Amino acid sequence: MDKIQQRALNVSLVVIAVFGVLFLRLIYLQVFEYKELGSISDANSLRRVWLQPPRGRLLDRNGSIVVDNQPLYTVKVIPSEYTDSLKKSVLASLLYITPDELSERIQKGFKYNRFAPVAAGRDIEPQEMMRLSENLWRTPGVMIEVENKRKYPTEINASHIFGYLNFISKNQLEEMSEKGYTPDDKTGSKGLEKQYEDLLRGEKGVRYELVNSIGKSAGKFENGNRDRPFTNGKDLYLTLDAELQKRAEDLLKDTGKSGAIVAIDPRDGGILAMTSQPDYDLEILNGKTDGKKWMEIVRDPAKPLFNRAIQASYPPGSVYKLLLAIAALEENVITPEKKIYCSGVFRLGRGRFLCHGGEGHGPVGFQRAIIESCNTYFYNLIFDLGFERWTEYGRMFGFGEKTGIDLPGERSSPLPSVAYYDKRYGKGKWTKGYLVSLSIGQGELNTTPLQLAAFIATIANKGTWHQPHLVKGYKLNDSDSTVTFNIPKKKLPVSERTFQTVGEAMFGVVEKGTGRLAAVNNLKVAGKTGTAQNPHGKDHAWFAAFAPFEDPSIAIVVLVENAGYGGSVSAPIAGKLIDYYVNGPDTTMADTLSAETALIDSTKSEPQANDL
């Protein structure tokens, strides 16, 4: 056999072998896999179904679930399969919407991927979902998915804390598509839902299924080998006390005024309660948004979406005298024993500044100056201390900058300084008279309730500034283990003796001064009243406090807008919240009668302007 014949034989053998393998594969497919292939041949398409993970829950400091999940039924369609007007009419009637509304929703899908499912109806009632299921044969290309929406099992609103979910915007989708977001996804829009989106959202799963010509599932693809389960979102452990939060909301609502309350654990900076009034009902934005009610919230002149606790700045009034007192003691400008004479009028050049309507206190020492809130004492003190050192101590306690709380949208106002006034008014164009207002927490000085609460917490623990926070950690999936966050803190260069002296004066404010309505039976409460002048109406009422005096576990700030005097409006609210948190929910009739008696005595004996 020559070489040419040998080569021809080799080629023939290779061809025979290839056809043999193909023939054997054909027999295998026809005989052994005819059932699976039969399903595939009857099916018109392969459908990828995203599996939405349950979003992480929120639990308060006592383990109570304050935000949970519940099922949400969503009807989705494949845009490329829904171009026929008859199909649209049938589905629209089943969803109780017009064909034009359905077309508008479907059109959304064409902007991104006409083969990817797009929501045609969301938050469908279970009865409607069953009716749709029975009619799927009339609506090919339609699927019903079970997603999640939030469930709020407690009686608290906490809308500014929790926030809500909203559909992902076009700009967000462009930035976040690599994280697995699709046009129909919701993402945290406000509050903790937004701040901790990456932890709460979890990871989507996916299921592949065969679908026949009438949109009915024809079974799993490849026996589910390509499916991927979802991963739950992580549960967050909050510092919040749900019962204290409820009481804070109720007490502030009862005033009929706007305002804010912030309560902090001075031992670690954890937020125990934080409310801003007015607030809003998160159920309006849960699942399918009620458009009419949403517009009522947006157009409300009281601005319920505005978080006054972290976004609104107010003059702190006499509460800020505490900072001037700390700075003066620490810099040895004043001693607790030294007295300053108050004639009722402080003169600076041609200016005359009154102390409580011109009524003098006579010789005033440190403790009495804080207890009776003597303006003249602090008018003198800021000049003895100096403007630059006053600013320095303000910065030391975090004023003039954000606290860094784990909530989006926090704001801060500038802290007045020489540079600030030079820039605002021009060098040499402002006078020392500006310092008079600053000494009593007025003028260009503004703070948020949160900044002031962090300041009071630092006085309570004698010198450690903790960053305020709402989340202390999260739970690892499929484990009882938790990850605890490392919260920033700083030890201030101020002596314990100074904090002790200021704290004792604050105790005197509640025991016998302008803050007597914050008194709690069998508990030492330290506090400071403040009334901030408001050019647009009635004064704002402040009260700041901590308790128990010996070993503080709560620091609290109450602000009620346009309410008058802090001692008569805000102090009783703080007292009730401190009483609940430290002593528990049992309030006796004796406590109530005692508070009423204190109110009568305070109105009779204490000049209301003393907390300016």
Compute how many other C-beta atoms are within 10 angstroms of the C-beta atom of residue 280: 19
Q: In this predicted model, which residue has the larger pLDDT, 12 or 330? A: 330
Q: What is the pLDDT of residues 98-122, one digit of tens each?
A: 777 777 777 765 555 566 677 777 7
Q: Which two tokens stand for residue 412?
A: 């801060």
Q: Of 76, 83, 78, 90, nearest to 46 (Cα)?
A: 78
Helix, strand, coil percentages, rounded to 5, for the chain = 45, 20, 35
Q: Exposed, middle or buried: residue 178 (CB in 10 Å: 0-12, 13-18, 19+)? A: exposed
Amino acid 286: pLDDT: 87
pLDDT tops 50 at residue 408: yes
Compute how many other C-beta atoms are within 10 angstroms of the C-beta atom of residue 434: 14
- Ranking 13-17, 377-381, 409-413, 444-448 by mean pLDDT, the lowest is 13-17
Please tell me the pTM assigned to this model: 0.83
Q: What is the pLDDT of residues 550-574, one digit of tens each?
A: 999 999 999 999 888 888 899 999 9
Q: What is the pLDDT of residues 528-541, one digit of tens each?
A: 999 888 777 788 99
Amino acid 44: pLDDT: 54
DSSP letter for each residue of 512-562 = HSTTGGG-BTTB--EEEEEEE--TTSSPEEEEEEEE-SSS--EEEEEEETT
Q: What is the pLDDT of residues 587-607, one digit of tens each?
A: 533 444 344 444 434 443 333
Q: What is the pLDDT of residues 317-337, one digit of tens each?
A: 999 999 999 999 999 999 999
pLDDT tops 70 at residue 455: yes
Q: How confident is the model at residue 380 (pLDDT cuts 50, 70, 90)?
A: very high
Q: What is the pLDDT of residues 133-178, one digit of tens each?
A: 777 667 766 777 777 889 998 889 999 999 999 888 778 877 777 7
Amino acid 316: pLDDT: 95
Q: Are 120 and 75 in contact (CB under 8 A)?
A: yes
pLDDT tops 70 at residue 494: yes
CA–CA dist 194, 238 (Å, integer)? 15
- Ranking 50-54, 376-380, 387-391, 463-467 by mean pLDDT, the lowest is 50-54
Query: 122 Cβ partners below 8 Å, 6+ apart?
Result: 72, 74, 75, 287, 288
Q: In this predicted model, which residue has the larger pLDDT, 86 or 66? A: 66
Catalogue the active-site residues.
318
Amino acid 325: pLDDT: 97
Q: What is the pLDDT of residues 209-263, one digit of tens each?
A: 776 654 555 556 666 567 788 888 999 999 999 999 999 999 999 999 999 999 9
Q: Are 308 and 533 in contact (CB under 8 A)?
A: no
How many helices and strands, by DSSP H and E, does the chain display? 22, 23
Query: What is the mean predicted confidence (pLDDT) over 480-484?
Result: 88
Q: Are 466 and 552 in contact (CB under 8 A)?
A: no
